[in-house]
Structure 1
Amino acid sequence: MGIPRNDETETGLVSRSVRGSVPSLRAALDAMPAPRTFWTGPDEATVVAGGVAAAVTADGRDRFTSVRDDIDRLLRSGDVHAGTEAACPRLFGGFAFHDEASDNNGTWADFPGARFVLPRVQVTDTDRGTWVTVNAVGADATPEAVERRLEEARERLAAVEEAGPRRGSHIVSRTRTTPRETWRESVAAAVDRIEDGDLRKVVLAQALAVTLDDPLSVPDVLADLGETYPDCYRFLVEPTAGLDRPSLLGATPERLVSRHGRTVTTGALAGTTGRGDTPTEDDWLAAELLDDEKNAHEHDLVAETIREQLSPFASSVTAGGRRVRRLETVQHLFTPITATLDHDTHVLELVEALHPTPAVGGLPPERALATIRETEPFDRGWYAAPVGWVDAAGNGSFAVAIRSALARETTATLFAGVGIVADSDPDREWDEVQLKYRPILDELE
């Protein structure tokens, strides 16, 4: 359902929440009507949702502003009763990496330049308990009807049976979009541009298409990712409700930005090495990463640019000390960055200002984006783009959709990229890409 664009038309949003229970979030997601939504992040509520009460879409360069205006129009006059802030109406979704889509009939055909959904039914799991929410917009949005549906949803979810054993699958074929020799040539060409002064950094990505012997179970993959990557943002975006619907899912360590009131939280995540087989080797690799000039240079470019991008909105920007962040398969250089806003700035204004960070795009931004377009033999779609949520107060939380895959029945396309700077070695960068496939690849296998 779309949003009325006549400012004199009331959207008629009605939202009601009640405490509830489900056997597990995995079982709840499996039981949700399509299209489904999943979101969780460090120190955030976990949301499992289904159906569409309202949707906002946009394309082109003004998509951030267009989406923000439509979301404000939808949420500003709502009749909302919620027992906790996390269960209040939120729209979940994201954006394409590039302003202009180039894959209208291909892999990303179902994903516009921006799409956000107000779910019809939502389960919100917080440290204060679990809440069931029902949202409605338009002709069927009366308090009586919504309260009746809420009770039905609460009873239905409480009666959902625990999901059975996780369904495994096996990869039967793999197809790379970028052969190794082509990769070497692309990295060498990028290094030449950097040495000529045309670029300071560019992030080049690869795509890996796999075929499975059984249909992918999205709830199972997200549950497994939660066990392996508990400190990452996990997300699911399904743009359509058909049986053959695509699912964008992932477990990303990279927060783009979170805004709550005047407090903004983000960080620089760039520079990568592997994990060791022993604690001693792990520590040695971490120390080597901290001392590595190439990785330190790449990381500092990202941190410096994020601080500059936040400065116009903030009365203060503070960066913590650079450190190593360890994940299951890789280790990253990480610098936490916080800011205090000097005026009421919507989270989507911050998303627009920060995307793409040099960790997934490059510097200077426009030249890096042009290089990516010219070099990569596939469309990024929503890969490495902002995904997250927005509420009525302009608060929200967005992650960068890396360590992700676009899945559909028995196929999945995985994406991974690396930052290219002046002293990048094509073979080392190739090996780093393979490491970054592993979070999703391991779960598929």
Structure 2
Amino acid sequence: MDQREGVARADTAGLVSRTVRLPDASLSGLLRTLGKPNAVWTAPGEPTVTGYGAAAQVTADGPARFATVRERAGAVFESVDRPADAPVVARPRFLGGFAFHDGHSATAHWAGFPTATFVLPHVQVVTTPEATWLTVNAYGERASVERVEETIASVRERFDPEEHAAGPPPGVVSTARTTGRAEWRRQVEAATARIRAGDLEKVVLAQALDVTLDAPFSLPDALERLGETYPDCFRFAFRPTDGATFFGASPERLVTRDGRELRTGALAATVGRGETPDDDQQLEADLRSSAKYRHEHEVVAERIREQLQGVASNVATGERSVRKLATVQHLFTPITGETDEHVLSLAEALHPTPAVGGLPPDAALDVIRETETFDRGWYAAPVGWFDGAGDGTFAVALRSALARGEHVRPFAGAGIVADSDPDAEWAEVQLKYRPILDVFERTGDATPDAGGGDR
């Protein structure tokens, strides 16, 4: 890596990119055919992108990390040798993410995960309902059309579109909490006291579990199970270092930029799903009518509109609805606008939303740093992709976990406001663990329940 520029490259030469069509393949088939990817991205209404190796990689630290990533990636896109008739959907993209805090230290559980890192894959496979595309990128003085075409031929030889079913869940051997129930009660009560004193309006506090599996983590199996249960969520996996994968299925879009069109939304306030249709409808009615839930949601929606000032015009708020997922349901308000800003600039303006940070933002972040008993790392931070035109999509990395071998650490949080009840917020956090735990559990596994021990 060129440490001065923060760009992994041979030198300052341009980018060579070529695309060919492959036989149609599923995501699980791709992952089992081509090995461990650096990045996987699949989102509602978007193609699935899987990246292997690195034609270029950019990293950044500190408060200027969004602008630094944009500048360093821009240098890679500055000179591109790519046929004019190449399919737009298969264009080169940087994929990666950021840490929640700009002062993130890549140590302990998060070793190998910088404050910001994005990879332009050497081998990029894009799948849509209509086609599967292979794009090979090369960057630096040794990049050439001949070398790119050699890689294309090699991938074609290894490529097998055959479907591969997921194996049985590995099973959960043990779990340990980073925050016990008594400590959680103290945290919530301290936060609500500060809110009542006027220091805060809202703060989002999170927890983590340390889960030991009965077999090593399998990314193809995990993503396949998440896709079956959460097909309308943003599924992702990033592996900036050998041996560790950050993955999840987030319900929350941070922002999409497509040309001048901007799409985001407020997703806040949570209840569970009912065991019967009548129970489910009653929970939905409680979600819609509760003054607490409405306030929690409106705080997020209003703050997002404020955050878009200066980076978007014609900002419009759509009709509020209930977003139903397998284990929870949320209030959701779509927000749209027009912009000429790079998607990274939009992500910077919006992170963190009050749905994962709080209000006022700086005070809430201070409380999070002082209170939480674990390192958030990339949890609840922006993850996604962008291209050379500044288009892209970022999700908020919720319903996520960090996996290393037989060990998985899922994360979950809850928004704390003046009238928050510690027991209700505890139960909400346990519900939010379910998407990850359900990937690994077998019938009869001993996993944390909503009551929870003080471990």
Residue identity in the other structure for 1:188? E
Pairwise CA RMSD: 1.7
**Distance in 2 (alpha carbons) for counterparts of 1:46 and 1:284:** 36
**Distance in 1 (alpha carbons) for counterparts of 2:107 and 2:286:** 45
Query: Partner of 1:214 in structure 2?
Result: 215
**Distance in 2 (alpha carbons) for counterparts of 1:174 and 1:313:** 44
The answer on whether the counterparts of 2:97 and 2:382 sit within 8 Å (CA) in structure 1 is yes
- For 1:283-362, list aligned pairs within 5 A: 283-341=281-339, 344-362=340-358
Query: Partner of 1:186 in structure 2?
Result: 187
Q: Does 1:101 align with 2:97?
A: no
Partner SS for 1:151: helix
**Distance in 1 (alpha carbons) for counterparts of 2:95 and 2:200:** 34
**Distance in 1 (alpha carbons) for counterparts of 2:161 and 2:87:** 24
Query: How far apart are 1:11 and its partner, in Å?
Result: 3.2
- For 1:230-249, list aligned pairs within 5 A: 230-240=231-241, 242=242, 245-249=243-247
The total of aligned residue pairs comes to 437
Query: Partner of 2:447 in structure 1?
Result: none
Partner SS for 1:238: strand
Query: How far apart are 1:5 and its partner, in Å?
Result: 3.8
Query: Partner of 1:229 in structure 2?
Result: 230
2:439 to 431, 439, 443: 443
Query: How far apart are 1:164 and its partner, in Å?
Result: 5.1
Residue identity in the other structure for 2:306? E
Residue identity in the other structure for 2:234? Y
Query: How far apart are 1:80 and its partner, in Å?
Result: 1.7
The answer on whether the counterparts of 1:33 and 1:51 sit within 8 Å (CA) in structure 2 is no
Task: Check 1:224–1:40 CA distance in 2 against 1; reply closer, same or farther (3 A cut).
Answer: same
**Distance in 2 (alpha carbons) for counterparts of 1:22 and 1:377:** 46
Q: Does 1:427 align with 2:423?
A: yes
Query: How far apart are 1:310 and its partner, in Å?
Result: 0.8
Residue identity in the other structure for 1:80? R
1:28 to 30, 37, 43: 30
Q: Does 1:403 align with 2:403?
A: no
Partner SS for 2:94: strand
Task: Check 1:260–1:212 CA distance in 2 against 1; reply closer, same or farther (3 A cut).
Answer: same
Once the two structures are superposed, residues 125-179 of structure 1 have per-residue CA deviations (whole angstroms, 9 ceiling, x without a partner) of 123311011111113310111122112212321x365435524201111010001
The answer on whether the counterparts of 2:12 and 2:141 sit within 8 Å (CA) in structure 1 is no
The answer on whether the counterparts of 2:292 and 2:419 sit within 8 Å (CA) in structure 1 is yes
Query: Partner of 2:46 in structure 1?
Result: 44
Query: Partner of 1:372 in structure 2?
Result: 368
**Distance in 2 (alpha carbons) for counterparts of 1:6 and 1:320:** 40
Q: Does 1:87 align with 2:90?
A: yes
Q: Does 1:200 align with 2:201?
A: yes
**Distance in 2 (alpha carbons) for counterparts of 1:378 and 1:147:** 46
The answer on whether the counterparts of 1:232 and 1:251 sit within 8 Å (CA) in structure 2 is yes
**Distance in 1 (alpha carbons) for counterparts of 2:69 and 2:291:** 41
- For 1:132-211, list aligned pairs within 5 A: 132-157=134-159, 159=160, 161-163=162-164, 165-211=166-212
Once the two structures are superposed, residues 160-208 of structure 1 have per-residue CA deviations (whole angstroms, 9 ceiling, x without a partner) of 6543552420111101000100000000000000000000000000000
**Distance in 1 (alpha carbons) for counterparts of 2:203 and 2:100:** 14
Query: Partner of 2:384 in structure 1?
Result: 388
Task: Check 1:136–1:3 CA distance in 2 against 1; reply closer, same or farther (3 A cut).
Answer: farther
Task: Check 1:426–1:109 CA distance in 2 against 1; reply closer, same or farther (3 A cut).
Answer: same
Query: Partner of 1:415 in structure 2?
Result: 411
The answer on whether the counterparts of 2:39 and 2:50 sit within 8 Å (CA) in structure 1 is yes
Structure 2 residues not aligned, in runs of 5+ = 442-455
Task: Check 1:294–1:29 CA distance in 2 against 1; reply closer, same or farther (3 A cut).
Answer: same
Task: Check 1:366–1:411 CA distance in 2 against 1; reply closer, same or farther (3 A cut).
Answer: same
Task: Check 1:165–1:311 CA distance in 2 against 1; reply closer, same or farther (3 A cut).
Answer: closer
Task: Check 1:120–1:293 CA distance in 2 against 1; reply closer, same or farther (3 A cut).
Answer: same
Query: How far apart are 1:272 and its partner, in Å?
Result: 0.3
**Distance in 2 (alpha carbons) for counterparts of 1:30 and 1:6:** 32
The answer on whether the counterparts of 1:255 and 1:400 sit within 8 Å (CA) in structure 2 is yes
Task: Check 1:4–1:119 CA distance in 2 against 1; reply closer, same or farther (3 A cut).
Answer: farther
Residue identity in the other structure for 1:283? Q
Residue identity in the other structure for 1:219? P
**Distance in 2 (alpha carbons) for counterparts of 1:224 and 1:364:** 38
The answer on whether the counterparts of 1:3 and 1:56 sit within 8 Å (CA) in structure 2 is no
The answer on whether the counterparts of 1:3 and 1:70 sit within 8 Å (CA) in structure 2 is no
1:280 to 278, 285, 292: 278
Partner SS for 1:215: coil
Query: Partner of 1:263 in structure 2?
Result: 261
Once the two structures are superposed, residues 291-314 of structure 1 have per-residue CA deviations (whole angstroms, 9 ceiling, x without a partner) of 011111110000000011112122
**Distance in 1 (alpha carbons) for counterparts of 2:414 and 2:341:** 31
Residue identity in the other structure for 1:287? A
**Distance in 2 (alpha carbons) for counterparts of 1:362 and 1:282:** 28
| Stretch moving more, 176-185 or 306-315 | 306-315
Query: Partner of 2:453 in structure 1?
Result: none
Task: Check 1:94–1:346 CA distance in 2 against 1; reply closer, same or farther (3 A cut).
Answer: same
The answer on whether the counterparts of 1:124 and 1:132 sit within 8 Å (CA) in structure 2 is yes
- For 1:96-135, list aligned pairs within 5 A: 96-102=99-105, 104-135=106-137
Partner SS for 2:424: helix
Share of identical aligned residues, percent? Answer: 57
Partner SS for 2:385: strand
Once the two structures are superposed, residues 361-399 of structure 1 have per-residue CA deviations (whole angstroms, 9 ceiling, x without a partner) of 000000000000000011100000000001000001000
Query: How far apart are 1:22 and its partner, in Å?
Result: 5.0
Once the two structures are superposed, residues 194-248 of structure 1 have per-residue CA deviations (whole angstroms, 9 ceiling, x without a partner) of 00000000000000010011001111110110110010000000012x3xx1000
